[in-house]
Amino acid sequence: MKRNSDQPIKITEVSLRDGSHVVKHQFTEAQVKSVTKALDDAGMHYIEVSHGDGLGGSTLQYGKSLVDEMKLIEAAVEEAKQATVAVLLIPGIGTVHELKQANSLGAGLVRVATHVTEADVSAQHIEYARKLGMETFGFLMMAHSAPVEKLVEQAKLMESYGAQGVYITDSAGALLPHEVRERVRALRNSLQVEVGFHAHNNLSLAVANTLAAIEEGATRIDGSVRCLGAGAGNTQTEALIAVLNRLGIDVGIDLYKIMDLAEEVVGPILPGSQEIRKGSLAMGYAGVYSSFLLHAERAAKRFNLDSRDILLELGKRKAVGGQEDMILDVAAELAQRKVEM
């Protein structure tokens, strides 16, 4: 593979954050310790740990955590001898106070996440993170839902606030490879900082999209062991490392150790197999935020509906992350329509 960048590729493992959605935010300290220790031993660069919706996400709306996320961050830091512990922060859910606490416990990287058209709300958090001395990246969610020109505009805002890189975040797993190429190329040509890519596998394109991003010059890449992430999961870390090795790209992560921890450490944590089922496929098809799946399934059961109908309607309404409260309203409306038909 010919890459459009000479910078090394750095991988952030997101199973202990994005995977929180899968386990309904019930990670234990022991689980975080065992996964972090195995990832660190395998040579992982960054390990993201927080509620699925980022710092401060443990609420009734987003789902209550079993264990306070600060304790989980502290547990990960204790085990990470080489890797940097990372956190996600969505302004409006998390605040600079949680960020300061996470940093004091040892978190060294933060991704400040906003909807793809709302980068302006990230200024305070990006600037504060830089003052704390943290590695700081912007994270533009639902990147499929805005024109490339808007994506570039918003990424430039994050860069102007001090972000050291900006991620194209395919929150719905809706992007196709040519769309990933177009977006990464546009940011590479417009920014002076690094470009990252975060995929979801709802259309079975996570690895393909990630390779397209890498070829176009993305240097910050996300993966989740055993696809432990929202929806059908993210780019499967062990598969990605295997493919990169085949392409002659050595990122310094031990393939056998990643394969072993996927099977022996993460496997027992999974409540079920991470595969593309009708719900996650519908999310990718409709372009709906991947963490909406469990909420939509609960609403479908409550109102005797097909969860796919709820997800498709949410897609039509262009629902974004943080609008989980819309799901019950949409379900109630669909149920009423069904009665009136």
21 a catalytic residue = yes
145 is in an annotated binding site: no
289 is in an annotated binding site: yes
Look up residue 276 and give its amino acid.
I
198 is in an annotated binding site: yes
Residue 197 to residue 339: CA distance in whole angstroms: 43
The residue annotated as part of the active site, out of 21, 115, 144, 295, is 21
Look up residue 70 and give its amino acid.
M
Helices (H), the chain: 29-42, 69-79, 96-104, 123-132, 148-161, 177-190, 206-216, 237-246, 255-261, 278-286, 293-303, 307-316, 325-340
200 is in an annotated binding site: yes
Select from 133, 138, 57, 66 the least CA-distant residue to 95.
57
Residue 121 to residue 161: CA distance in whole angstroms: 11
Q: What are the φ and ψ backbone dihedral angles of 240, each rounded to 5 degrees?
A: -60, -45
Residue 154 to residue 309: CA distance in whole angstroms: 32
Binding residue ranges for substrate: 17-18, 171, 198, 289
Binding residue ranges for Mn(2+): 18, 198, 200
Binding residue ranges: 17-18, 171, 198, 200, 289
Active-site annotation, residues: 21
